[in-house]
Amino acid sequence: MREPGTGSTGRAQEVTDAMADEKAAPSTLAGRIDALFRVVRRPSREQYSHEEVARACREATGDSFSATYLWQLRTGRRDNPTKRHLEALAQFFHVPVAYFFDDDQGAAVAKELELLGALRDAQVRSMALRAVGLSPEAVGTISDMIDVIARREREHGAADDIA
């Protein structure tokens, strides 16, 4: 009763899965919170009440969290909660905070970061960092040099595999 989420492992996965086939990820904050209420339930499969969730958030974070306000968020009458409240909700429902945002921008950057993961080569990393702050002309010159060297290494068959 006091810590409703504790006994569940991998609940967030349940959430994403069930959400995919149910409402296809609602686009409003209210819709997302409501989806959480419908999907994340007590062991008895009953929905949590607003007061229950609010109390759990209070006890987990030490800060205040009113059931009324949670209802307002869920029904869309309020749609601009603070960082504090978003953290508490994400923690209770076991979802990443990014769930509450439409993260097209975040997804793009995440993809970019993934691409950067390819740059395992420490030397290449350090090279990129050094190039920061150079003039565009200088970077262009270096790029040309890379092309030349890369072609030469390819023609001589000296290119070795990475990773």
Partner DNA sequence: GTGGGTCATGAACTAGAATGAATGAGCAAG
Partner DNA sequence: CTTGCTCATTCATTCTAGTTCATGACCCAC
Positions in the binding site for DNA (CB under 7 A): 47, 49-52, 63-69, 71-72, 75, 78, 80-82, 84-85
Query: Shortest approach of DNA to residue 103 CB, angstroms?
Result: 18
Nearer CB in complex with DNA: 31/69: 69
Query: Shortest approach of a copy of itself to residue 27 CB, angstroms?
Result: 14
Q: Which partner from the list a copy of itself, DNA, none does 25 bind, CB cut-off 5 to 8 Å by kind?
A: none
What is the CA 4 to chain-centroid distance, rounded? 23
| Cβ count near 142 (within 10 Å) | 14
Nearer CB in complex with DNA: 50/94: 50
How is residue 139 written in tokens? 């970077």
Q: Which partner from the list DNA, a copy of itself, none does 104 bind, CB cut-off 5 to 8 Å by kind?
A: a copy of itself
Burial of 92 (0-12, 13-18, 19+ CB in 10 A): buried
Nearer CB in complex with DNA: 82/135: 82
CB-based contacts of 159, cutoff 8 Å, min separation 6 = 150, 153
What are the CA-CA distances from residue 42 to residues 2, 46, 94 (Å)? 12, 6, 13
Place of tokens 């429902």: 93
Nearer CB in complex with DNA: 18/142: 18
